[in-house]
Structure 1
Amino acid sequence: MPRILALPAIVGLALLTLPLIALVLRVDWSTVWTDVTAPEALSALWLSLATGLTATAVCVVLGVPLALVIARSGARTAAVLRAVVTVPLVLPPMVGGVAMLFLFGRTGWLGEALAEWGIRIPFTTTAVVIAQTFVALPFLVLALEGSLRSTGTGYEQTAAALGAGRWRILGTVTLPLAMPGLVAGVVLCFARAIGEFGATALFAGNAPGVTQTMPLAIYTAFNGAGVGQGTAVALSLLLLVTAIAVLLLVRAWRPEAQR
Structure 2
Amino acid sequence: MKERTPLFRVENLTKEYPMGDSVVYALRGVSFEVYQGEYVAIMGPSGSGKSTLMHIIGCLDRPTSGSYYLRNRDVRSLSDDELAELRNSEIGFVFQSFNLLPGMTLLENVELPLLYAGVSAAERRERARRMLEMVGLGERLRHHPNEISGGQRQRVAIARALVNDPAIVFADEPTGNLDSVTGKEIMALFGELNRQGNTIVLVTHERTVAEHASRIIHIKDGAIEKTEVSVPGSHGELTWKEVTVV
Task: Give the TM-score normalised by structure 2.
Answer: 0.23
- Larger Rg computed on CA atoms: 1
Task: Give the TM-score normalised by structure 1.
Answer: 0.22
